[in-house]
């Protein structure tokens, strides 16, 4: 079944082919891809020169913002979840089905694009503290958007619970043959499976057959870190020679879970309302509960690095200034953690991380804050010391 699923994702590709290319388009020889789905995957692995020079290691970043459907690694996940649901008959294009999802944005955008491309509707529930450009984009893509107040996961009004409920209501409705499908990225194993099938094999191939010493990534659902770690450590046998490091923003409970085995989340325990999902301005990573996707890779994570919002802002600015890379907040967190990891490793080590999405998705919050901090002020002398970024 797993080989079959491999062939379903991104068209026919044998396990032997995977090393060379995880994404086999219809007419690769001519460079033609089949629809928007064909623009997903095979993203470049960028050597970040400034961070490599500053650390004495090679810092490599997988440019996931170049995925061509929704501009994030969630394209891979959304496509795999949809294809699995189609295989199982849970989604059928001719029936007028709707995909429901609870998301902080990226997965919703990928699902909304792919829904349009494959004949479905999309209904997205998201917390109302996420950057407005994400919900605007969803509207333009024709999705129904419900922005809901931030609530604990125990609350039926939490964006994930609401999406599940909406899918149920749709399917139960007697006056329509169409179905509601709850994609459920947090608990759906098709999420980390997408990274086992594509992101992991691509990183393996792009590093000349697994020549990397560390993989650093944040976790929102945990799908990326679990899928890549499982592929590299288990399927490719890199095991303990590869250090897998969680990059965790301030306010998230995962850092303590990885480091000390307990989740520090007093507000969650009390079940009280918090102002934000996680007390950070970083979007997409950091969480205060253990999801099935995170659990799938938890035993393979060797360490965690906590990153403050200020460090993330300084890193984002550094990447524009030195490398011309304009990234979002989770990418900046990943790069801070990659640098912290590299500084603890022997010189010359190779550290791979992820650039999740573009800064353009974060203009109204993260980048506005960076400007307000005065980091973009031309009259201020730019600090060229990476340790200023690390604080
Ligand atoms: N960055 C961004 C911008 C995201 O939206 C997400 C997913 N929520 C992630 C990173 C984290 O990916 P994952 O869900 O695979 O842990």
Residue 268 predicted with pLDDT over 90: no
pTM for the whole thing?
0.91
How confident is the model at residue 22, as a pLDDT?
A: 46
Ligand 1 centroid from CA 224, angstroms: 8
Task: State yes or no: pLDDT of 1 exceeds 90.
Answer: no
pLDDT, residue 192, reads 98
Residue 217 backbone dihedrals phi, psi, to 5 degrees: -155, 150
Of residues 74, 121, 233, 365, which has the active-site annotation?
74
Mutation choice for ligand 1 from 218, 226, 231, 312, CB with most ligand atoms inside 8 A: 218
Confidence category of residue 174, pLDDT binned at 50, 70, 90: confident
356 lines ligand 1 (CB under 6 A): yes
Mean pLDDT of 366-390: 83
Q: Is the CB of 328 under 6 A from ligand 1?
A: yes
> Residue 112 phi/psi, 5° resolution?
-65, -40
Residue 378, SS3 per DSSP: coil
Q: Which of 220, 226, 277, 296 to mutate to test the pocket of ligand 1 (most atoms within 8 A of CB)?
A: 220
Residue-wise DSSP of 41-99: S---EEE-HHHHHHHTSEEEEEEGGG-TTTSSTHHHHHHHHHHHHHHTTS--GGGT-EE
Whether the CB of 221 sits within 6 Å of ligand 1: yes
Can you list the positions of beta strands (E) in 243-339?
243-249, 303-307
Is residue 16 helix, strand or coil?
Answer: helix
Q: Which residue's CA is the nearest one to ligand 1's atom 6?
A: 284
User: At 195, is the pLDDT very low, low, confident or very high (cuts 50, 70, 90)?
Assistant: very high
Give the mutation target among 64, 198, 356, 358 for probing the ligand 1 site: most ligand atoms within 8 A of CB.
356
Closest C-alpha residue for ligand 1 atom 11: 220
Q: How far apart are CA 196 and CA 174, in angstroms?
A: 39
Is 74 marked active-site? yes
Provide the pLDDT for residue 31.
82
Mean pLDDT for the chain?
89
What is the ipTM metric for this complex?
0.97
Q: Is residue 330 within 6 Å of ligand 1 at its C-beta?
A: yes
Q: 220 CB under 6 A from ligand 1?
A: yes
Whole-number pLDDT of residue 385 = 81
Q: Tell me, what's the pLDDT at 209?
A: 97
Distance between Cα 104 and ligand 1 center (Å): 9
pLDDT for 222 equals: 98
Q: Does residue 92 surpass a pLDDT of 50?
A: yes
Mean pLDDT on 162-188: 95
Average pLDDT score over residue span 270-282: 61
249 lines ligand 1 (CB under 6 A): no
Residue nearest ligand 1's atom 12 by CA? 220
CA distances from 240 to 215, 243, 285 (A): 12, 7, 25
**Banded pLDDT at 28 (limits 50, 70, 90):** low
Residue 140, pLDDT > 90, answer: yes
pLDDT at 277 over 60: no
């Amino acid at each position: 079944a797993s080989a079959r699923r491999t062939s379903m994702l991104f068209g026919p590709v044998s396990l032997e082919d995977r090393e060379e290319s995880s994404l086999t388009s219809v007419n690769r020889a001519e460079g033609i891809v089949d629809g928007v789905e064909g623009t997903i995957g095979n993203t470049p692995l960028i050597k970040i020169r400034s961070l490599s020079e500053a650390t004495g290691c090679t810092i490599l970043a997988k440019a996931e913002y170049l995925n061509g459907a929704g501009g994030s690694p969630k394209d891979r996940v959304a496509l795999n979840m949809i294809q699995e649901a189609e295989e199982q008959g849970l989604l059928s294009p001719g029936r007028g089905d709707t995909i429901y999802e609870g998301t902080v944005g990226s997965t919703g955008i990928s699902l909304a694009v792919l829904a349009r491309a494959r004949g479905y509707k999309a209904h997205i529930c998201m917390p109302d503290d996420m950057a407005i450009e994400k919900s605007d984009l969803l509207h333009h893509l024709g999705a129904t958007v419900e922005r809901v107040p931030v609530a604990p996961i125990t609350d039926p009004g939490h964006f994930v619970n609401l999406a599940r409920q909406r899918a149920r209501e749709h399917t139960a409705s007697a006056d329509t043959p169409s179905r509601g499908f709850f994609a459920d990225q947090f608990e759906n194993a098709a999420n980390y499976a997408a990274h086992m099938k594509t992101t992991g094999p691509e990183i393996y191939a792009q590093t000349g057959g697994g020549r990397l010493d560390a993989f650093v990534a944040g976790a929102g659902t945990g799908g990326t870190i679990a899928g890549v770690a499982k592929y590299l450590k288990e399927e490719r046998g890199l095991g303990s020679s590869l250090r897998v490091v969680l990059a965790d923003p301030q306010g998230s409970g995962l850092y303590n879970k990885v480091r000390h085995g307990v989740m520090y989340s007093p507000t969650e325990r009390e079940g009280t309302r918090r102002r934000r999902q996680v007390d950070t301005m970083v979007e997409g990573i950091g969480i205060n509960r253990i999801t099935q996707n995170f659990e799938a890779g938890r035993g393979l994570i060797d360490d965690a690095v906590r990153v403050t919002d200020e460090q993330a802002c300084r890193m984002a600015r550094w990447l524009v200034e030195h490398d011309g890379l304009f990234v979002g907040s989770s990418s900046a967190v990943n790069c801070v953690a990659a640098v912290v990891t590299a500084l603890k490793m022997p010189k010359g080590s190779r550290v791979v991380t992820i650039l999740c999405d573009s800064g353009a998705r974060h203009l109204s919050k993260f980048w506005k804050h960076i400007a307000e901090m005065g980091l973009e002020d031309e009259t201020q002398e730019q600090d060229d010391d990476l340790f200023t970024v690390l604080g």
